[in-house]
C-alpha cells in the first residue's frame, strides 16, 4: 500500500475550514433527549461507516463515537490507552503487543477479544487509507483472549499514533468480508465497541446514535443519545444554536464577536497544530529555489493572523510549532518579511518583473477565500500574480490527480504522528509528494532514521535536520498555526466542552449533560 501514500491527509487539507464553512444545508427538527452536534457532511463525511472503506480523515467525526479506538491521543499529543489498556513495542524482536481492557464487547454483544481485534487489524490493513495508520504492521494474531501480537515489517514507532485513528477502529467480524470488502455491511450498518451504537443515517441530514451500554472504554458520557446533524458550520451554525436547532458546533473566527455578545452561548478555543500553509507543486515556476524563497519573503504571516484569524494564532516558520521537539530554532524566522530581498531573488531567477501562477483553494469556504485573497495581495507587492482557482470538494482528484493549479492555499492537521506529516508531503512513494513532484530522497532517509531512533531525543534531533532542509530550500510556505473553536448552548448543555486540537477530532463531550 505504500505507493498510494498518505492520501488521507489530502481530504483533511480540504476540510480544515470546512468545519467553519458557510455553505451546506439546514438542520432538521431537534430531539429534546439528544445532544445535537452540527457539522458539514458534504465536506467531512465520505458516506461510509466502514473505516476500511473510508475516504476522508474527517470520517472520524462520526466513526469514533461508534467504534472507539485502540489507543487515544492526549492534549500533549502523546498516545494513551483506549480500548487497549497497554502495549509494548519491541523493535528488536519485531513485535508490537497490545493488551485489551477486560470485559470488552461490541454493541451487538459479541466479544471484542484478541481474535476479533487481530482479524479487524488484518482487514483495516487492506484499506486504501486505513492502511496508512498501520505503517510497520505486517500481520496480527491473538495470543490469548486479551493479547494481540502485531508482527512488524519495519519500525513500530508510528503504531500507537495510528491506532488512535481509523487504523484502531475495529468493526465487528460479522460486518465485513476481508476477501470481498464490497460485500461488507459495516459501511451501512456499523457495529463497534465505542461509546455509542449506530441507529440510523439520513444522508445529507443526520446520524442518530444511542448509548452503547456495553462500552467499557476510557471515557464516560452523561447523555444517552447523540445526533450528528448537517449544517454549514460558521455563521449559519451559530445561528442554528441560537435558534435551538443545534447544541454544539465548530465555528470560524469571524463568528467570535457574535458568540461573545450572546449570553445563551459559551465557547472554547484551542490552539493546536492546525497548520495554514501555501503548498507548492515543485515544477515550473516553483522548481527554482530562488522563486520559492522569494514567495516566502513576500508573505506577512502576522497579517494573516490579524486579518483571517482575528488576531488569534501563532506565526509558523516550519511545519511544527515552537512547542514541538521537532522545532528547529536555527531556521526559525529565516523568512521574516523582506520585500527587497524577495525582489532581488526574483531578479536572480530571471523574472525581475515577477511571474504568474494559479493558486488553488477549496471552493465555497469563507476562511480559505480570505486566506487566498490576503496572499494574493501580499505577493502582488513584488510583482507575483496569483490567480485564485476555487476547487470542488474532491481535492484529491482536482488538485493532485488532475493537477489543477501550481500551488494549494489551504491548511492541514499536524496529525498525531510527529513523523508522518513530513513523510506524507515529501516522502518517496507518498501520494501528495508524487503529485506535487516533491519526493525527496534525503527527507525519506531522515524519516526512516527517525522511525528507528532509540530515544525521543534522538528522534527529535533527526527531525530537526529535516526541518532545516524544508526551510532552507523553501519547499513550502508556512503561514500560521490556528485555533479550533467550539460553541454550545449554555441553556441546553451543562458542563465544559473542549475544543479539538486537530481538524478531524470530534469535540470532547465527556462530562457534558443535558439540562
CB under 8 Å to 457, separation ≥6 — which residues? 325
Residue whose C-alpha cell reads 449544517 in the numeric block: 231
Which comes out higher in pLDDT, residue 335 or 255? 335
C-alpha cell at 471: 526551510
Residues of the chain above pLDDT 70, percent:
91
Strands 84-90 and 95-100, sheet pairing: antiparallel
| pLDDT on residue 424 | 85
Q: Could you give the C-alpha distances from 322 to 35, 118, 273, 305, 325, in angstroms and in order?
A: 36, 38, 10, 16, 8
Q: Which helix (H) or strand (E) holds 360?
A: strand 356-362
Cβ atoms within 10 Å, residue 369? 19
- Predicted confidence at residue 117, as pLDDT, reads 98
Quote the cell numbers at residue 170: 475495529
Residue 29 has pLDDT above 70, yes or no: no
Q: Indicate the pLDDT class of residue 2, thresholds 50, 70 and 90.
A: very low
| 442-481 residue pLDDT tens | 999 999 999 889 888 999 999 999 999 999 999 999 999 8
Whether 262 and 52 have beta carbons less than 8 Å apart is answered as no
Give the model's pLDDT for residue 30.
43
- Whether the predicted pLDDT of 233 surpasses 90: no
Per-residue pLDDT reduced to its tens digit, 298-327:
999 999 999 988 888 899 999 988 888 999
Q: Enumerate domains of the chain plus CATH numbers.
A: 59-193 (3.40.190.10), 273-482 (3.10.105.10)
Span 220-225, average pLDDT: 94
Confidence at residue 421, expressed as pLDDT on a 0 to 100 scale:
81
Segment 110-155, tens digit of pLDDT: 999 999 999 999 999 999 889 989 989 999 999 999 999 999 998 8
Q: Grade residue 440 by pLDDT with cuts at 50, 70 and 90.
A: very high
pLDDT in tens, 165-210: 999 999 999 999 999 888 899 999 999 999 999 999 999 899 999 9
Q: pLDDT at residue 156 above 60?
A: yes
- pTM here is 0.82
Residues constituting the chain? 515
C-alpha pair distances (Å), 334 with each of 282, 296, 337, 354, 463: 21, 9, 9, 22, 18
Amino acid at each position: 500500500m505504500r505507493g498510494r501514500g498518505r492520501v488521507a491527509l489530502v481530504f483533511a487539507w480540504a476540510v480544515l475550514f470546512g468545519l467553519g464553512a458557510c455553505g451546506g444545508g439546514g438542520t432538521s427538527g431537534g430531539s429534546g433527549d439528544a445532544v445535537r452536534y452540527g457539522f458539514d457532511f458534504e465536506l467531512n463525511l465520505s458516506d461510509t461507516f466502514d473505516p476500511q472503506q473510508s475516504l476522508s480523515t474527517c470520517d472520524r467525526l462520526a466513526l469514533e463515537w461508534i467504534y472507539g479506538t485502540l489507543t487515544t491521543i492526549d492534549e500533549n499529543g502523546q498516545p494513551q490507552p483506549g480500548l487497549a489498556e497497554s502495549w509494548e513495542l519491541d523493535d528488536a524482536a519485531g513485535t508490537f503487543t497490545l493488551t485489551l481492557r477486560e470485559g470488552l464487547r461490541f454493541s451487538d454483544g459479541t466479544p471484542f477479544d484478541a481474535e476479533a481485534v487481530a482479524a479487524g487489524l488484518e482487514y483495516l490493513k487492506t484499506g486504501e487509507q486505513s492502511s496508512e495508520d498501520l505503517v510497520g504492521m505486517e500481520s496480527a494474531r491473538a495470543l490469548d483472549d486479551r493479547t494481540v501480537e502485531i508482527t512488524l515489517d519495519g519500525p513500530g514507532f508510528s503504531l500507537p499514533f495510528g491506532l488512535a485513528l481509523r487504523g484502531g477502529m475495529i468493526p465487528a467480524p460479522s460486518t465485513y468480508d476481508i476477501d470481498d470488502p464490497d460485500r461488507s455491511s459495516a459501511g451501512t450498518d456499523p457495529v463497534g465497541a465505542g461509546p455509542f451504537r449506530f441507529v440510523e443515517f439520513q444522508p445529507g441530514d443526520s446520524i442518530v446514535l444511542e448509548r452503547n451500554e456495553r462500552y467499557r472504554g476510557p471515557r464516560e458520557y452523561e447523555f444517552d443519545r447523540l445526533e450528528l446533524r448537517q449544517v454549514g458550520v460558521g455563521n449559519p451554525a451559530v445561528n442554528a444554536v441560537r435558534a435551538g436547532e443545534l447544541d454544539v458546533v465548530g465555528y470560524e473566527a469571524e463568528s467570535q464577536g457574535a458568540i461573545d455578545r450572546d449570553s445563551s452561548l459559551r465557547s472554547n478555543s484551542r490552539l493546536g497544530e492546525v497548520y495554514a500553509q501555501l503548498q507548492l507543486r515543485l515544477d515550473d515556476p516553483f522548481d527554482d529555489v530562488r522563486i520559492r524563497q522569494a514567495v516566502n519573503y513576500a508573505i506577512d504571516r502576522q497579517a494573516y493572523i490579524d486579518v483571517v484569524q482575528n488576531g488569534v494564532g501563532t506565526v509558523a516558520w516550519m511545519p511544527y510549532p515552537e512547542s514541538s521537539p521537532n522545532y528547529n530554532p536555527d531556521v526559525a524566522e529565516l523568512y521574516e518579511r523582506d520585500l527587497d530581498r524577495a525582489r532581488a531573488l526574483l531578479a536572480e531567477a530571471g523574472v525581475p518583473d515577477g511571474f504568474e501562477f494559479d493558486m488553488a483553494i477549496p471552493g465555497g469556504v469563507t476562511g480559505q477565500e480570505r486566506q487566498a485573497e490576503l496572499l494574493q495581495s501580499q505577493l502582488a507587492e513584488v510583482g507575483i500574480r496569483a490567480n485564485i482557482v476555487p476547487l470542488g470538494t474532491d481535492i484529491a482528484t482536482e488538485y493532485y490527480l488532475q493537477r489543477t493549479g501550481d500551488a494549494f492555499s489551504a491548511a492541514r492537521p499536524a496529525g498525531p504522528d510527529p513523523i508522518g506529516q513530513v513523510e506524507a508531503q515529501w516522502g518517496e512513494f507518498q501520494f501528495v509528494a508524487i503529485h506535487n513532484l516533491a519526493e525527496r530522497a534525503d527527507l525519506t532517509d531522515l524519516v526512516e532514521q527517525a522511525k528507528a531512533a532509540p530515544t525521543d531525543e534522538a528522534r527529535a534531533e533527526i527531525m530537526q535536520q529535516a526541518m532545516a532542509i524544508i526551510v532552507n530550500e523553501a519547499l513550502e510556505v508556512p503561514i500560521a498555526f490556528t485555533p479550533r473553536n467550539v460553541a454550545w448552548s449554555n441553556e441546553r448543555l451543562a458542563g465544559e466542552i473542549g475544543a479539538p486540537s486537530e481538524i478531524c477530532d470530534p469535540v470532547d463531550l465527556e462530562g457534558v449533560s443535558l439540562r
